[in-house]
Amino acid sequence: MYAISEVAKLLSVSTHTLRYYEKEDIIIPNRNENKERVYTESHLNWLKFVMKLKETQMPIAQIREYARLFKEGEQTTQARLELLENHQISIQIQIENLLTTEKMLEDKIKAYKDFINNKI
């Protein structure tokens, strides 16, 4: 069991972020006898997944939708699959864009280096 401060440190996020995810119904931590948030290993794994979705530019509304579908159970498996497949396509587009941008930067850097070397 982990306190909110421990989870924040383990995941390198703020406690504010964790409270925000709770407010958005993305995670629902347990509460101890003092009504303090308590996170399990399962919560930690879920948050790691959520953070990867966020890192890959999945909008918070879609993450919230995925969490809602997950809570509804097995009957939402197809909808969850489609949501993740669509996000995978989005990631593939991001990768293509990044590779194109990297190539453009590579060409520009080479042009600058050639210019500098030719002046010497």
Secondary structure (DSSP) of the chain: -EEHHHHHHHHT--HHHHHHHHHTTS---EE-TT--EEE-HHHHHHHHHHHHHHHTT--HHHHHHHHHHHHH-GGGHHHHHHHHHHHHHHHHHHHHHHHHHHHHHHHHHHHHHHHHHHH-
Which pTM value belongs to this model? 0.80
30-49 per-position pLDDT tens digit? 999 999 999 999 999 999 99
107-120 per-position pLDDT tens digit? 999 999 999 998 86
51-109 per-position pLDDT tens digit? 999 999 999 999 999 999 999 999 999 999 999 999 999 999 999 999 999 999 999 99
Whole-number pLDDT of residue 119: 80
Interval 13-20 mean pLDDT: 95
CATH 1.10.1660.10 fits 2-119, yes or no: yes
Whole-number pLDDT of residue 5: 94
